[in-house]
């Protein structure tokens, strides 16, 4: 069937997980598989990591936790998002641990739990990200309140870096110092807390002091470094590709696609690929990007449309059915770290933008 496809290399996922485990030593790994495992497919990714011995999973939405539970996942699931009443059944199950982001969250949990059937939670402290989490100056008061609330079992305390991927580490190091102060407070008031975590993928890769006894890798699990260049220990899990569906001759002066962004300067041969922005190929590739076919690079010409993309074949023989790779191929130009820099995007956008009509092929070599 001629359609865009994403090869999901589960062997690369296993490799990346083991590489991360080696980096973090005894720290437990909570794999971040929100947003359909960054476009890779949450269920197969979760099952592979479960078989590898991962401690648990992080999700953004309650519905993502439900999806994992219905698929037979039994590891702990940390819901990173806002506490809502429609998720209390999940929290009461004991498998899904909620995040306390405010004193209001604490009070709402207290009303819906009991000392005999406590709700497991992680407390998030905002050490400088400026998003979710209790403000740093309120950390001591809420930890004290939690120590007096047997209805809530606080299993972990965490925070999130704002700049861990940047070369200038001053702000990151300041956040880390703030978090260390939180840990000291928590240990003095709630000594039974098991886990402290702040390291995302960037923290895992470039800040060993942030690993503590739990880490939350996201994009690094999928073989992409957030540090701006590929990491030698990581292999891309996704190969995004599309088939050639038509090869045709163009005469000098002929134009290609919407808005006639490309006009042939001489007689040439082009190929049409069955993929477009409806599949997650960004329109910034118009007249700018390239694809890899059999190890060679071919420029994208004209505008990326909803379902089709044109490339210039040059003098090479390209046939219908040939595989064109947008990212995750062998050529350096197909590495998302470099594509993100070229187009002033972040790698996450490419991965999470892959749509549901793209077939995911699970490959375990």
8 Å CB contact between 205 and 216? no
How far, CA to CA in Å, does 81 sit from each of 61, 97, 297?
A: 6, 11, 42
Q: In angstroms, rounded to a whole number, what is the distance separating the alpha carbons of residues 285 and 193?
A: 48
Q: Of 248, 258, 294, 342, which residue is the catalytic one?
A: 258
Structure tokens at 212: 């503590």
Residue 338 is a catalytic residue: no
8 Å CB contact between 350 and 284? no
Residue 343 is a catalytic residue: no
Structure tokens at 43: 């269920």
Q: Of 34, 124, 241, 303, which residue is the catalytic one?
A: 34
Q: In angstroms, rounded to a whole number, what is the distance separating the alpha carbons of residues 344 and 284?
A: 10
For 328: left if phi > 0, alpha if psi spans -120 to 50, otherwise beta; the answer is left
* CB-based burial label for 328 (10 Å; 0-12, 13-18, 19+): buried
Nearest partner of 278 among 309, 247, 236, 322, judged by Cα: 309
Q: In angstroms, rounded to a whole number, what is the distance separating the alpha carbons of residues 199 and 86?
A: 29
* CB-based burial label for 177 (10 Å; 0-12, 13-18, 19+): exposed
- Helix, strand, or coil (residue 11): helix
8 Å CB contact between 337 and 350? no
Q: Residue written as tokens 């998720």? A: 87
- Where helices occur in 193-346 by DSSP H, the ranges are 201-206, 336-342
Positions marked active-site:
34, 258
């Amino acid at each position: 069937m001629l359609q865009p496809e994403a090869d999901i290399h589960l062997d690369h996922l296993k490799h990346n997980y083991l590489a991360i485990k080696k980096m973090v030593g005894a720290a437990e790994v909570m794999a971040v598989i929100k947003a359909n495992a960054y476009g890779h497919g949450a269920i197969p990714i979760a099952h592979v990591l479960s078989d590898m011995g991962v401690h648990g999973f992080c999700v953004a939405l309650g519905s993502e936790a439900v999806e994992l539970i219905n698929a037979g996942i039994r590891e702990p699931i940390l819901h990173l998002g806002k506490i809502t009443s429609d998720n209390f059944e999940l929290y009461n199950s004991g498998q899904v641990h909620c995040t306390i982001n405010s004193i209001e969250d604490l009070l709402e949990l207290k009303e819906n739990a009991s000392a005999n059937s406590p709700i497991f939670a992680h407390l998030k402290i905002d050490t400088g990200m400026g998003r979710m989490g209790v403000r740093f100056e309120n950390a001591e008061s809420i930890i004290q309140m939690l120590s007096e609330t047997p209805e809530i079992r606080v299993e972990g305390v965490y925070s999130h870096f704002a700049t861990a991927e940047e070369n200038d580490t001053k702000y990151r190091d300041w956040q880390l110092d703030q978090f260390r102060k939180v840990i000291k407070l928590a240990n003095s008031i709630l000594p039974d807390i098991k886990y402290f975590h702040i390291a995302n993928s960037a923290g895992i890769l470039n800040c060993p002091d942030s690993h503590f006894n739990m880490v939350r890798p996201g994009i690094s699990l999928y073989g992409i470094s957030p540090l701006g260049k590929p990491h030698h220990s990581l292999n891309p899990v996704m190969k995004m590709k599309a088939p050639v569906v038509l090869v045709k001759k163009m005469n000098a002066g002929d134009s290609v696609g919407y808005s006639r962004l490309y006009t042939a300067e001489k007689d040439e041969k082009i190929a049409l690929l069955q993929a477009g922005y409806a599949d997650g190929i960004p329109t910034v590739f118009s007249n700018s990007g390239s694809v890899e076919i059999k190890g060679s690079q071919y420029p994208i010409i004209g505008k990326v449309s909803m379902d089709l993309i044109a490339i210039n074949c040059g003098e090479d023989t390209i046939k219908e059915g040939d595989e064109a790779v947008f990212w995750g191929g062998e050529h350096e130009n197909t590495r998302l770290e470099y594509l993100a820099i070229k187009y002033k995007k972040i790698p996450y956008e490419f991965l999470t933008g892959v749509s549901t009509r793209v077939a995911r092929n699970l490959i375990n070599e």
